[in-house]
Structure 1
Amino acid sequence: MEEQELLSILALKKAPLIGDIMAKKLIRTFGSATAVFEQSMREIAAIEGIGDKKAQFIKATDLFTKADKELEYVHKEGITTRIYYEDNYPERLQYCVDGPIVFFEKGNIDWNNPYTLSIVGTRQITSTGAAFLEKFIEEIAPLKPLIISGYAYGVDILAHQLAIKHGLQTVAVVAHGLNQTYPRNHEAYNEQMMANGGFVTDFWHTATFDRKNFLGRNRIIAGLSEATVVIESAAKGGSLVTADLAAGYNREVFAVPGRVNDKYSIGCNELIKQSKAHLLTKAADIPYILGWKERNTGVQKQLFVELNEDEKLIYRYLKENEKELLDIIAININKPVHQVASLLMSMELKGVVKPLPGKMFMLV
């Protein structure tokens, strides 16, 4: 991108009362961000939704002074900028009407990963939630998804740590500039994050931590992912906001159920009860709902030895019969259909079986 266009994008991003939706409208109308600033105040004000006051903000003389300082920081620190209409902008975020016109990135992130999951939840994660999350990441790891979260206490930081532990890329979306870390003691994980993914934000480096920034941060978490997983949540909380945003982007939402009296299960139970989220009880639910297939990871034989006794029954049956209907498998191994369906999902995640049209299954 030409330096002038990037500078104009930054200036437009800084204009008061001009959000990402309106900025995209202006760019679409006049052809580029640079062209927006070449128009007269009257031409800008004539755009529906702008008017004289917003046009005055766009023509303010100090916007480019501020944009110059931000661009200087970007170049000095080696920050990558992603512009919404360029090919290197994450595809899923492009489909979000309020996705940022520009965001800042540092690290080593593969946005071409076909599988992306956002994992969110309470900052006061319980031992039950932590145990579920650890098992979940371990079991989903063969699919090599990109794990996205918000670098906060509790569910967020544990999701990042477990992703790194299992060799997965992970991205922290933060609600402040990239020249700082919040919470402060999470600086201890920055180096590992940079080596195994990185950080993104659409806030300038001069933007300090502020709770009002969470909504903007959460829309990016939801928008970058194919699905959002809520591990634990109280009746109110940022993770529920992220889940709503994901649903608004027509993305899948999953929630881990819990006991009705548990404080940090209330939010998840409500999502499931209101049909806002799929019930999530194991990692195999993700590929089953999303249609993910195991990529060539070279781990199938290793996972085979971890089949439980019921899964081994299915394996032996399919080995003798090549492929078979779900209902017929259930009859022949003398198990309920719903139990066999669950077992087949688990085996699919482990790379042992694959589904065929018409509820047919065969060994990989």
Structure 2
Amino acid sequence: MRTNKDLYRIALTQIKGVGVMHARTLMQVIGDEEAIFKEDVRKLEAIPRISRRLINEIRDPEVLKKAEKELAFVENNKLRLFFFTDDDYPQRLTQCIDAPLLLYARGNADFNHQKTISVVGTRNSTRYGEDFCKEFIEELSRRIPDVQVISGLAYGIDICAHRAALKHNLSTVAVLAHGLDRIYPQIHRQTAVEMLQQGALLTEFPSGTNPDKHNFVKRNRIVAGMADAVVVIESAEKGGSLTTADIANSYYREVFAIPGRIRDKMSTGCNRLISDNKAILFQSIDGFISHMGWEPDEKQSIPIQQDLFPELSEEESVLFEKLNEKGAMHVNTLAIELNIPVSDLFMTLLELEVKNIVTSLPGGMYQLV
């Protein structure tokens, strides 16, 4: 359902010189999208790091004109909008400091699946990489039938991952490096259309945005941030997949790489990720599921009374209660549910580990002892 805030949310992303951090500051101080464009100039001037030049850009009438045009495109094409304060915005992204303010989507996907993976790799994939991709997703669909597969609709491994997900009835999301007025590459249009029924096309870029090189770099941070784990299947010595892996590491996501023969050009990047300890060596689907803590929990957990640990601080108590309620949880899920930055959460988890109340599991999972 459209709200009168949509126009101003789009406009906030159209202001020249106002990036994610400035926009977040404006929202934090002003508190309302529409008010940002109608607030008294003196109040805007009092906001840290908001210069007179930026204020002039905010008040430029062309900003709202462009936003009106984009809103018409959104409504005519029945797109969905996700603002960073919305409950249905991809919550894993909220823990990423550079997450987009606004996302445009076409399709039916829920962007907050309990389990998500991003599958990335070279555009110049080999039979080895494509066969692995298909077999991995087929087996994953049997073992974890509710997992969501994210990729970028590009040639090679990306399109292979999307098609395998569709074949095995998994939700799959393509994160695009351009607006939703086109599909790139055009040859993947039919697959994109099929994805709309059990997945979605997602982008931060408004209509009219071309698939320029720098947009793919920006796209990759969404691919990394939306997933619990990034699986890199084939990469040359340099490539976008390695950038995605680096970003995923900075977001505290799990990164797996598929090893290859040392003389295979398209395995060079994966082998280096593993040797540099930037990725976990992928050896088997069993190992992957175990490391992620996605094995079925057959044990009935018995609630633990918090008064057994009277020395807990307020932060530790909140974390204790959540783990006591939910059982084993991934650190990123904990951060989202408790609305605590991952870096701060790690410190509290460490304190609870020292007190022998919490134990860490493979794959960034934590549970009560």
Same fold flag (TM > 0.5): yes
Per-residue deviation, 1:115: 0.7
Is 285-294 or 36-45 further displaced after alignment?
Answer: 36-45
Superposition pairs of residues 214-225 of structure 1, within 5 angstroms: 214-225=216-227
Paired with 1:254 and 1:178, the residues of 2 have a C-alpha distance of: 30
Superposition pairs of residues 253-332 of structure 1, within 5 angstroms: 253-294=255-296
Report if the CA contact (8 A) 1:235-1:266 is conserved: yes
Superposition pairs of residues 1-364 of structure 1, within 5 angstroms: 3-142=3-142, 143-144=144-145, 145-294=147-296
Paired with 1:236 and 1:194, the residues of 2 have a C-alpha distance of: 32
Report if the CA contact (8 A) 2:82-2:89 is conserved: yes
Paired with 1:130 and 1:74, the residues of 2 have a C-alpha distance of: 35
Per-residue deviation, 1:295: 9.3
Paired with 2:132 and 2:297, the residues of 1 have a C-alpha distance of: 24
Identity over the aligned pairs, expressed in percent?
A: 41
Assess, with a 3 A threshold, how the Cα gap between structure 1 residues 84 and 231 changes in structure 2: closer, same or farther. Answer: same
Paired with 2:215 and 2:26, the residues of 1 have a C-alpha distance of: 24
Paired with 2:8 and 2:182, the residues of 1 have a C-alpha distance of: 25
* Cα shift readout 1:281-319 (whole Å, capped 9, x = no counterpart): 2222222111013499xxxxxxxxxxxxxxxxxxxxxxx
Paired with 1:155 and 1:116, the residues of 2 have a C-alpha distance of: 17
Is 221-230 or 150-159 further displaced after alignment?
Answer: 221-230
Paired with 1:295 and 1:122, the residues of 2 have a C-alpha distance of: 35
SS at match of 1:87: coil
Per-residue deviation, 1:183: 0.4
* Cα shift readout 1:215-262 (whole Å, capped 9, x = no counterpart): 221111111111111001111111111111111111111111112221
SS at match of 1:4: coil
Paired with 2:212 and 2:11, the residues of 1 have a C-alpha distance of: 22
Number of positions where the alignment pairs a residue of Structure 1 with one of Structure 2: 297
SS at match of 2:75: helix
SS at match of 1:289: helix
Aligned equivalent of 1:360: none
Paired with 1:45 and 1:218, the residues of 2 have a C-alpha distance of: 34
Paired with 2:296 and 2:196, the residues of 1 have a C-alpha distance of: 26
Per-residue deviation, 1:272: 1.0
Is 99-108 or 1-10 further displaced after alignment?
Answer: 1-10
Paired with 1:291 and 1:38, the residues of 2 have a C-alpha distance of: 49
Paired with 1:2 and 1:137, the residues of 2 have a C-alpha distance of: 36
Paired with 2:29 and 2:198, the residues of 1 have a C-alpha distance of: 39
* Cα shift readout 1:313-341 (whole Å, capped 9, x = no counterpart): xxxxxxxxxxxxxxxxxxxxxxxxxxxxx
Report if the CA contact (8 A) 2:88-2:112 is conserved: no
Per-residue deviation, 1:47: 2.6
Any stretches of 5+ residues in structure 1 without a counterpart?
297-356, 358-364
